[in-house]
Structure 1
Amino acid sequence: MSHPLYRAANPKLWTGRIDSEESSPALRWHQQMQCLDLSQPLSANLDRQVTLLGFASDAGVKRNKGRPGAAAGPDALRAALANSACADHPLYDAGDIICEGDRLESAQLGLAEHLAKLIEAQANPVVLGGGHEVAWASFQGLIPKLQQSNARLGIINFDAHLDLRRPNPAGSSGTPFRQIAEWCDANGHPFNYWVLGVNPSANTDALFQYAREKDVQWIEDDAFESEPLSALAEACNAFLTTVDSLYITVCLDVFNAAFAPGVSAPAALGISPSRMLWVFKHLIKQAKAVNKPVWLLDIAELNPAYDPHGQTARLGARIIWEYQRAQSQ
């Protein structure tokens, strides 16, 4: 039975340019996209192909006193992806979980339930947010695989914020990694969490203290921009030695607002897309080389209401495109 907050994929969203080339295929994402309805049994193994699942939620951002609008993020990312170049292989869209009003916890459970179904079907899921409360939902979707494999999961978060606030009285876009840490403590799993691009002026001393208590690693935004790429690569390689698999999450507010204005909390400094993508691609390439699979990618905090020219959506789409290309090589 379908979760009450689930909406099947809409093929009408996948339209765009069609090219005609004589010598080789000239395909785009909208031509290769197959739409799924997770309220029905999946008829086939998804063969590790990229499968999109949206999380249309503003509730966590509103609870965190941010600018609402992220609920429109999934469809904006789809629109930005539609004309992207594509090799001759299938892509899948599994629809959206809709957070109605303040029913955040219900929506998070719905995403986890449907994400677990995709993972069981051998998909390569990419979750489209939505506020960063999506991370607690995404992690819950990974729990069955985590328990089955007993793998040491590494969580890599490109984010200006640690998002380690205490849920008080409930979760928000600022609490997901605290919720994950508490689950790990309660269930005997290590909490391996690394944050890249942290803005020290946007995180209180209490958050940094909690991060130290939990052995969280982080790189501040100015260091991320100034360190040699070789040093960042070495840090990535060192983190990979401590884990068996990865969950990568990208909060678009990690970028300088000149590149990503369409977020809940735009950054005056932030990091640059070119450097982030270099590190991102190195992580995926190195993880494949040492057989440490990426189980999940999600993109958070796209707010189309503040993205009039769609540049933040296109940046999020480029990250997804690079991920798909790296995973298929």
Structure 2
Amino acid sequence: MTIDMSMWHGRDDSAEGEQARRWHQMVQPLTAQAAPGIAILGFACDEGVRRNQGRTGAVAGPLALRRALANLAWHPGAPLYDAGTVNCDDGDLEAAQQRLAAAVTALVQAGHRPLVLGGGHETAYGHWLGLARAHPGQSIGIVNFDAHFDLRHAGHASSGTPFAQVAAECARLGQPFRYLCMGVAEPANTGALFATAASLGAEWRLDSDMTPWQLADARHQLADFADSVDLLYLTIDLDVLPAAQMPAVSAPAGYGVDISVIEALAGKLARSGKLLAADLVEFNPLFDQDSHGAKAAARLAWSLCRHWKR
């Protein structure tokens, strides 16, 4: 997989000393000899969004998000690498998900923490599959910040099916399906989806129960879930944010969860010592407004990396 570093550029404040560095000055192309760190991996795909009848364009998300991250201030943390991008150029989503899984497994086995930049939420199935193969027999709890359950039953994979696919694979392996979806919008999920979530033993929290003044309750729910599993995988569907903060998604939220709440909860996971991997998905630069969405997504990725502990 070719690693293109050309998008990593930005302001140079080196005259102010070593503490004035930015991400574009710290990120390095991943090599086989690299010390364990955070590995940014792109998944350039929106075939799942197309199949789910959404607004395509998230295929350009990995490049746009790297550019948004490049100029952010760097604060000491784990080494930072670019591990390249898995592409889906031919519409064969299932093959692309398998390539993503293989790349994730290799990163984890080398001691790295994958930060995957989607792509549609079809990213999640390939990402989880790679983590499960790297940690067989361990319970991996999925925390999904999302307005949608993404538990659809369909004849083919899409951005609406990843966690139904995960549940089916867990059943095949005889492993528990541990899934917490936070930020669920009732108007955007049918009764059938709520019934599916309940039948699978999934847990959830509505967007209306995730206001800033309800943050303590959300934290307790998240902590209880984290305590019940061996490892954690965090996936942030950016359509969980209000449309004013995140216009650049397939399905902008009419209500949404404020970015301050998402950042606080994601930070709790990053500091838990259990967070194995994370991704940000559904960013669609075709619908961004004055880079509002890119800046919000980059802030969440920055915060995760700033606080991520093993």
- The TM tier, using the shorter chain, reads over 0.9
Q: Which residue of 2 aligns with 1:13?
A: 7
Alpha-carbon offset, residue 100 of structure 1 = 1.1
Three-state SS of the structure 2 residue aligned to 1:143 is helix
Report the residue type matching 2:27 in the other structure.
M
Output the CA distance in 2 between the equivalents of 1:283 and 1:115: 20
Q: Does 1:296 align with 2:284?
A: no
Q: Hey, which bits of structure 1, 4+ residues long, moved more than 4 A?
A: 21-24
Alpha-carbon offset, residue 315 of structure 1 = 1.2
Q: Which residue of 1 aligns with 2:156?
A: 170
Three-state SS of the structure 1 residue aligned to 2:99 is helix
Q: Which residue of 2 aligns with 1:39?
A: none
Q: Which residue of 2 aligns with 1:77?
A: 65
1:273-292 equivalences under 5 Å are: 273-285=259-271, 287-288=272-273
Q: Does 1:320 align with 2:301?
A: yes
Three-state SS of the structure 2 residue aligned to 1:85 is coil
Summarize deviations over 1:61-92 as a string: whole Å, max 9, x none.
00000000000000010000001111356310
Alpha-carbon offset, residue 239 of structure 1 = 0.9
Q: Which residue of 1 aligns with 2:97?
A: 108
Report the residue type matching 1:138 in the other structure.
H
Report the residue type matching 1:132 in the other structure.
H
Three-state SS of the structure 2 residue aligned to 1:275 is helix
Q: Which residue of 1 aligns with 2:43?
A: 55
- Find the partner of 2:74 among 67, 72, 86: 86
Alpha-carbon offset, residue 128 of structure 1 = 0.4
Report the residue type matching 1:209 in the other structure.
A
With 219-228 and 249-258 compared, the bigger mean Cα shift is at 219-228
Report the residue type matching 1:127 in the other structure.
V
1:222-301 equivalences under 5 Å are: 222-225=208-211, 228-285=214-271, 287-288=272-273, 293-301=274-282
Asked if the contact 2:212–2:258 (Cα under 8 Å) also holds between the matched residues in 1, the reply is no
Unpaired stretches in structure 2, ≥5 consecutive residues: none
**Change in CA separation of 1:24 and 1:44 when aligned onto 2, cut-off 3 Å:** closer
Unpaired stretches in structure 1, ≥5 consecutive residues: 1-5, 37-41
Alpha-carbon offset, residue 240 of structure 1 = 1.6
**Change in CA separation of 1:96 and 1:22 when aligned onto 2, cut-off 3 Å:** closer
Three-state SS of the structure 2 residue aligned to 1:197 is strand
Alpha-carbon offset, residue 130 of structure 1 = 0.2
Q: TM-score, normalised by structure 1?
A: 0.90
Alpha-carbon offset, residue 186 of structure 1 = 0.8
Output the CA distance in 1 between the equivalents of 2:127 and 2:152: 18
Output the CA distance in 2 between the equivalents of 1:269 and 1:327: 29
Summarize deviations over 1:209-239 as a string: whole Å, max 9, x none.
0110111110111111165222122112211
Output the CA distance in 2 between the equivalents of 1:321 and 1:27: 14
Report the residue type matching 2:124 in the other structure.
A
Alpha-carbon offset, residue 45 of structure 1 = 4.4
Output the CA distance in 2 between the equivalents of 1:328 and 1:206: 38
Q: Does 1:159 align with 2:159?
A: no
Output the CA distance in 1 between the equivalents of 2:17 and 2:250: 45
Asked if the contact 2:269–2:275 (Cα under 8 Å) also holds between the matched residues in 1, the reply is no
Output the CA distance in 1 between the equivalents of 2:91 and 2:106: 25
- Find the partner of 2:118 among 103, 119, 129: 129
